[in-house]
Chains A and B, each alone.
Chain A
Amino acid sequence: MNDTLHEAGKEALEHAAHEELRRVAAIRAEGRELSPRDRMALPTQAMPCQDSALRSRNMFEVAEGYGESQARLEAERCLDCKNAPCVKGCPVWVDIPLFIKKIREGDFQGSARVIKRTNLLPSICGRVCPQESQCQAECTLGKSLKSVDQAVQIGRLERWVADRERACGACDLPDIGASSGKKVAVVGSGPAGLTTAIDLRRAGHEVVVFEAFQKTGGVMVYGIPEFRLPKSLVAMESGLLSEMGVRYELNFLVGRTRKLGALIREDGFDAVFVGAGAGLPKFMDMPGENLVGVFSANEYLTRANLMKAYDRERAATPIYPSRRVAVLGGGNVAMDSARMALRLGAEEVRVLYRRTREEMPARAEEVGHAMEEGVIFDFLASPTKVLGNDKGIAEALEILSYTLGEPDTSGRRSPVPIKGSERVVPFDTIIVAIGNESNPLLAKTTPDLKVDKRGHILVDDKQKTSMDRVYAGGDIVLGAATVILAMGEGRRAAAAINELLA
C-alpha cells in the first residue's frame, strides 16, 4: 500500500513538518539555497486522515488536509524543473511549478491566483483528481525516487492552497471581458459544464447553465460522496460562477423542458455546449436483477448524497436498510458505494470484482481507504444471478469464481470463469457499479445530433458536434471518465466557442 497514505494524527504530522522546516530554514540561514539533493531528501508529506474506525461511521471528510508546515515542506520538495513535465500531465494546464513556488515564498494568495488562472475549481480538483496518473505521474522527483508515491504531492498542495484561500474569505474572481453581446447555453452543471461556463464568461459572453437537478455540480453532488468531496465546497465553487455573472437555470432538462435546437433557433443562443454526463446506469443483465434490494450505484449514491438520505431525521428520501451488502465492480464508484453503505450502517460490505487488485480501475488511495474502513474484497469473483424470496426481495447472490487468463484488448489479463465453482452467498443489498452508458434522451429529442453506437456524442478535435454551433464534452462524449478529463474537454470546447464568437 501507498505508504504516504498511512493514518497519522494531523498534529503529529504538522509537528514533524515544522521541525523539518526549521532545518530547511537553517540551511538558508547559512546563505545557501537547497540543492536538488537536499530537496530529494525531504520526506513526502502524508495526508492526515480521520481515524478509520471513526470515519467509517460518519459522513465527515476522510482526508483532513495539510497544515501550513506540511504544505510548506511539501512545496520545498519541488525541483522546479524547467521543462515542467507535471504541467503536461494536467488536462487543464495548471502552472504547477509556479503555484508551488508561491507556497514556498509564503505568497499563498498569489499561489491561489496562479492556479485559478486555468482552474477555477481547485478545492474540487485537489480532492478528486487522480493525480497519481496525471501531473504526479510525470513528476521528475517521483521518477528520481522511483515511485510515483514519492512524487511531489501536487493535489494535496492544490487543495491546501484552495482551502486556505476560502478560509481567509478572500476568493478573487477572474477578470471578465467586456460584454460581447453573445449568449451561450451550457447544458449540465457538472465539471465539464462549469469549466466551460467559466471560460465563456471570462470572454465576456452571457452564459446560462441549464441543470436538470435542483442543485448545481452534477456528478460532484449526486455521485461523489460527502466524505470525499464536501457538498459545501461544490456549492461554494459553483457559487463563484454566479458571482461572475453566470446564470443558472435549475430544474431544466434540455431536450424535454426545451429542445436543444430551440435554444439556438428561438431563444437567441449563439452557441451551446452539451456536458450532460453519462447518466444511464449499466446492469449485469443477469436473472433477478430487478428484485427489490438491487440498486444501480447511481441510485444508491444519489439517495445518499444529493437527497441526503443519510440524515434520517430530516431527509424525506428513504434509503434501503442494509445489513449485508455486495458491491459489483472495481472502479471509484464501486469504492464510493461500498464506503457509503458502511457509513449508512451496513454490518458487512463486500466488493466483488472479476479480476484482482492490480487490475482494479479504482484509485489505489480509494481502495486503500475502503480496506482500512473494513470493506471486504472478494477478488476473482462475479455473480451469475440474484436469488430472491416469494415477495420479490433479493436474498442472495450466486457467485462464480474466476482465474486470470491471457491479456485482453485492454492489456489486462482477462478473467476466465472456473466451471462448477458457483456458490450462494446471502446478501440483502446488491449495488451494481459497473459503469454508465450514455443517456439517450438528448439524442432522441435532437435528431440532428450524431452519436456513436454506444450513444456518445460524436465531436471533432475542437469538441464540435455534428450540429452547427453545438459543442459537447465530458462523459457524454468520453463515456464514464474523471472530473478533470471532463474539465479538460470543457476548456477545449470553450476555446473553440470563444473563437467562433470572436
Chain B
Amino acid sequence: MSKILAKRKLSEEVYRLEVEAPLVARERKAGQFVIVQVDEDFGERIPLTIADADPGRGSVTLVFQTVGASTHALAQKEIGDSITLLGPLGNPTHIERFGKAVCVGGGIGLAPLHPIVQALKAAGNEVVVIAGARTRELIIMREELEAIADEFILVTDDGSAGRKALVTEPLKELCEAAAPGAVKPDIVVAIGPPIMMKFCAETTRPFGVKTLVSLNTIMIDGTGMCGGCRVSVGGETKFVCVDGPEFDGHLVDWSGMMSRLRSYKAQEDEAHHKCHIGLGTDAPVGAGALTGGAARQEGSR
C-alpha cells in the first residue's frame, strides 16, 4: 500500500496527490503510468499518469480529474490514507535530441506532459509547450511547464486565459513556420482528450511532422494480461499497456479507440450518478469531461 503524503485541489475537479512509492519514483521514466486502486476488494483499477517524481523523497505525483465513481473515491482519500499503486507501467517515451519539439497538452493531459517536457529539455531540445484547457481554472502545471519551456503558449476555449483558441491553431502556425527564421517542429507530442489528440495528429499530418500521442484506454491489469486496452495502429492490433502508451498519432484508428473508451458509458453514468448522491453533491453527470463521453478515462489519464 502507498501512503498519501500530500494532497492539493488544483481546481473544482482536479486533484494532485503525492504518494509514497520509492521504487516507482526511482524506476519511472517520462511517459510511464501507474495503476491505482482505492479499495482492494471492490475498487476499480484505474490507470493514472505520473506527473512528477521525487526519488529522494521516494514519492510520485499523480494528477487526476474526478469524472467517474473511482476518481471520486480517490479524491475522498486524505493525507495519511493508503492506496494501492502498481508501476511504473508502459514503455518510456523515446527521448533524443530531435531539435525542435512541440508538446501539446490539453486539460488533465498537461500532467503527463510535464515529465516528457522535462526529459526533452534535458536532452537538449528546443521545447515549445502549448497548454490548452476549457477555461482558466482548469489549467494545471502552468508554473512548472512555463519554467522549463523555451516558449509557452496558453490557450483556452473561452478566452479566460491566454489566447481564445483550440490547441490546434498555434500548432498549425508552428508547423507552417511562416515567420522569418522560424523552423518546422521536428517532433510533436500531444497528450489530452482523444479528440484533441486526433485533431493534433490531423493538423500535423499535412506537414509530415511525426506526432506522438499517449493513449488512455480502458485497462485492468496494465501488464498485457487482459487485452482490454487494445487499439488498432497502422492496421495492427496493439496493447496500449505493453506496446504503448505512446503511438504514432497518424496511424491510430481514432474512431475505434474512442468507441472502445465508451464501452461502459451506461454503467459509468449510473455509477457516477450514484456516487454523487452518496457525496451529497449535485454536479451533473459527466461534468468535467473535456469533450463529453469516455468520461472516466479522460479524467484519469
Q: Contacting chain B: which of A81-89, A311-319, A341-349, A492-500?
A: A311-319
Nearest B-chain residue to A280, judged by Cβ: B224
A422 at the B interface (CB under 8 A): no
Chain A 214-258 interface mask (CB, 8 Å, partner B; 1/0): 110000001000000000000000000000000000111100111
Nearest B-chain residue to A251, judged by Cβ: B86
Q: Which residues of A contact B73 (CB under 8 A)?
A: 316
CB neighbors of A among B235-270 (8 A): 237, 239, 242, 253, 255-256, 258-260, 262-264, 266-268
Given that A283-B237, A392-B255 are contacting pairs, would A317 and B45 also be in contact in the complex, using a CB cutoff of 8 Å? yes
Q: Which residues of A contact B45 (CB under 8 A)?
A: 214, 307, 317
Indicate which residue in A215, A252, A256, A320 contacts B263 across the interface (CB closer than 8 Å): A320
CB neighbors of A among B44-91 (8 A): 44-45, 69-70, 73, 84-89
A281–B226 touching, CB < 8 Å: yes
B231 at the A interface (CB under 8 A): yes
A214–B224 touching, CB < 8 Å: no
CB neighbors of A among B258-293 (8 A): 258-260, 262-264, 266-268, 271
Chain A 310-336 interface mask (CB, 8 Å, partner B; 1/0): 010011111011000000000000000
Indicate which residue in B226, B259, B262 contacts A299 across the interface (CB closer than 8 Å): B226
Q: Contacting chain B: which of A4-12, A124-132, A288-296?
A: A288-296
Given that A279-B224, A302-B225, A320-B264 are contacting pairs, would A290 and B42 also be in contact in the complex, using a CB cutoff of 8 Å? no
B27–A298 touching, CB < 8 Å: no
Bound state CA distance, A424 and B238, in angstroms? 27
Nearest B-chain residue to A285, judged by Cβ: B237
B150 at the A interface (CB under 8 A): no
B135 at the A interface (CB under 8 A): no
A290–B230 touching, CB < 8 Å: yes
Bound state CA distance, A393 and B264, in angstroms? 12
B226–A212 touching, CB < 8 Å: no
Q: Which residues of A contact B226 (CB under 8 A)?
A: 281, 296, 298-299, 302
CB neighbors of A among B6-33 (8 A): 23-24, 27
A291 smallest CB distance to B (angstroms): 7
B159 at the A interface (CB under 8 A): no
A253–B227 touching, CB < 8 Å: no
B118 at the A interface (CB under 8 A): no
A450 at the B interface (CB under 8 A): no
B53 smallest CB distance to A (angstroms): 13
A308 at the B interface (CB under 8 A): yes
Indicate which residue in B89, B220, B267 contacts A302 across the interface (CB closer than 8 Å): B220
Q: Which residues of B contact A293 (CB under 8 A)?
A: 263
B69–A316 touching, CB < 8 Å: yes
Indicate which residue in B40, B84, B88, B260 contacts A292 across the interface (CB closer than 8 Å): B260
B252 smallest CB distance to A (angstroms): 12
B220–A314 touching, CB < 8 Å: no
A258–B259 touching, CB < 8 Å: no
B271–A253 touching, CB < 8 Å: no
Nearest A-chain residue to B267, judged by Cβ: A318
Nearest A-chain residue to B23, judged by Cβ: A257
B151 at the A interface (CB under 8 A): no
A440 at the B interface (CB under 8 A): yes
Given that A392-B259, A392-B260 are contacting pairs, would A308 and B41 also be in contact in the complex, using a CB cutoff of 8 Å? yes
Nearest B-chain residue to A282, judged by Cβ: B227
Given that A212-B221, A316-B39, A441-B223 are contacting pairs, would A290 and B86 also be in contact in the complex, using a CB cutoff of 8 Å? no
Indicate which residue in B40, B227, B259, B262 contacts A214 across the interface (CB closer than 8 Å): B40
A298–B225 touching, CB < 8 Å: yes
A281–B227 touching, CB < 8 Å: yes
A223 smallest CB distance to B (angstroms): 9
B221–A302 touching, CB < 8 Å: yes
Bound state CA distance, A134 and B266, in angstroms? 46
Nearest A-chain residue to B263, judged by Cβ: A292
B208 at the A interface (CB under 8 A): no
Bound state CA distance, A77 and B89, in angstroms? 54
B269 smallest CB distance to A (angstroms): 11
B43 at the A interface (CB under 8 A): yes
Among A214, A277, A280, A293, residue most surrounded by chain B Cβ atoms (within 10 Å): A214
B260–A290 touching, CB < 8 Å: yes
Q: Which residues of A contact B41 (CB under 8 A)?
A: 308, 314
A314–B42 touching, CB < 8 Å: yes
B242–A441 touching, CB < 8 Å: yes
A355 at the B interface (CB under 8 A): no
Q: Which residues of A contact B231 (CB under 8 A)?
A: 290
Given that A253-B89, A290-B260 are contacting pairs, would A317 and B230 also be in contact in the complex, using a CB cutoff of 8 Å? no
A303–B87 touching, CB < 8 Å: no
A289 smallest CB distance to B (angstroms): 7
Bound state CA distance, A441 and B267, in angstroms? 32
Q: Which residues of B contact A251 (CB under 8 A)?
A: 84-86
B227–A258 touching, CB < 8 Å: no
A440–B242 touching, CB < 8 Å: yes
A393–B42 touching, CB < 8 Å: no
A213 at the B interface (CB under 8 A): yes
Bound state CA distance, A195 and B258, in angstroms? 43
Given that A291-B259, A307-B44, A318-B268 are contacting pairs, would A256 and B88 also be in contact in the complex, using a CB cutoff of 8 Å? yes
B44–A316 touching, CB < 8 Å: yes
Nearest A-chain residue to B270, judged by Cβ: A318
A217 smallest CB distance to B (angstroms): 13
Nearest A-chain residue to B229, judged by Cβ: A299
A279–B225 touching, CB < 8 Å: yes
A160 smallest CB distance to B (angstroms): 29
Bound state CA distance, A253 and B241, in angstroms? 13
A454 at the B interface (CB under 8 A): no
B99 at the A interface (CB under 8 A): no
A453 at the B interface (CB under 8 A): no
B70–A439 touching, CB < 8 Å: no
Bound state CA distance, A334 and B115, in angstroms? 42
Bound state CA distance, A257 and B60, in angstroms? 13
Q: Which residues of A contact B24 (CB under 8 A)?
A: 257
B68 smallest CB distance to A (angstroms): 9
29 sample A-B contacts, Cβ–Cβ < 8 Å, listed by A number: A212-B221, A212-B223, A213-B221, A222-B221, A222-B225, A251-B84, A252-B23, A253-B89, A257-B24, A279-B225, A280-B242, A289-B237, A292-B259, A295-B227, A296-B227, A296-B228, A298-B225, A298-B226, A302-B221, A308-B42, A311-B42, A314-B41, A314-B42, A316-B70, A317-B44, A392-B255, A392-B256, A440-B224, A441-B224
CB-based closest 3 A-B pairs: A392-B259, A299-B226, A318-B267
Q: Which residues of B contact A (CB under 8 A)?
A: 23-24, 27, 37-45, 69-70, 73, 84-89, 220-221, 223-228, 230-232, 237, 239, 242, 253, 255-256, 258-260, 262-264, 266-268, 271
Q: A258-B23, A311-B42 are in contact. List 17 more A-B contacts (CB 8 A).
A: A251-B85, A256-B27, A257-B27, A258-B27, A280-B239, A281-B225, A290-B230, A291-B256, A292-B259, A292-B262, A296-B228, A302-B221, A314-B41, A317-B43, A439-B223, A440-B242, A441-B242
